Homo-oligomer: A and B are copies of this chain.
Amino acid sequence: MSLTEAKQHPDTRERILDAAEALFVEHGFEATTMRMITGRAGVNLAAINYHFGSKEALIQDVFRRRLTWLNEERLRALERFEKEARGAPLKPHQIVEAFFGVSLRMAADTEHGGHTFMRLLGRTYTEPSAFVRQFLADEYAAVVPRFKQALFRSLPDVPPEEILWRFHFMLGAMSYAIAGTDALQLVAEHELDEKDPEALSRRLMPFLLGGLRAPLAGQAVKTKEKSPRKAA
């Protein structure tokens, strides 16, 4: 009874997932040891293998816990817009909003770990480990084709291949934006004002749309001409 003063164990699994998530962001998968995780979580070393089976399985569960919901939410947002449109092609800003807006909203949640997770996710797109990449590919299998198709319909004048590249560029911009302050300090030696995450969305979304709808590089843009400002 009174022997254990703070020993309460409010779901060992969850404590481990939280600790692992934070440590993976800080140090990466390989550099994060089981002893670091269990130490931070305040549980026994063997708890990871007992509850998850292996370190690899733990990594996958860290992603599954939030990524499944995130992708479902992305699809729900897209479908909401498509319902509104009644069969008409969506506007680019709607598609961008459905995919990246949902992500940024999760990144804005600093209370329940959404921010930490989105940083991890951004870091992981470039993660080379084979099994992680395979895992991500599976998790995205349901959502990516839907957004590709929506973009193709939305921008019929842009070659599909070009659209895929720009989608990729947008992913990169967002990931850096969220992984954020770390790399940013390279650019701005002093803290860039607030952590206000809604502000990030206000900054990032125009950039993404500007890039997505930029004129194609059909011919050299370099000439002295005055870059024909095309109105949307």
Interface residues, chain A, with chain B CB atoms under 8 Å away: 25-28, 30-31, 91, 93, 122-123, 125-129, 133, 136-137, 140, 144, 148, 161-162, 164-177, 179-180, 182-188, 192-193, 199, 202-217, 221-222, 227, 232
Contacts and interface: CB of A to CB of B under 8 A. Distances in A.
Given A122-B126, A176-B171, A184 B204 contact: no
Nearest to A214: B210
B186 A136 contact: yes
B126 A182 contact: yes
Contacts of A193: 161
B192 A165 contact: yes
Contacts of A203: 162, 165-166, 217
A31 B172 contact: no
Contact of A173 (B30, B137, B169): B169
Contact of A169 (B140, B167, B204, B227): B204
Contacts of A215: 206, 210
Nearest to A171: B176
14 contacts: A93-B221, A93-B227, A125-B186, A126-B179, A133-B182, A164-B192, A166-B203, A168-B176, A168-B184, A170-B173, A171-B176, A172-B177, A172-B183, A173-B211
Given A126-B179, A128-B182, A168-B176, A214 B209 contact: yes
User: How many monomers of this protein are in the complex?
Assistant: 2
A87 B100 CA distance: 40
Contact of A161 (B25, B148, B192): B192
A221 to B, nearest CB: 7
A97 to B, nearest CB: 8
A232 B200 CA distance: 13
A212 B214 CA distance: 10
A-B CB proximity, top 8 nearest = A210-B214, A172-B176, A211-B211, A30-B30, A207-B211, A169-B173, A30-B31, A125-B183
Nearest to A208: B211
Contacts of A137: 185-186
A100 to B, nearest CB: 12
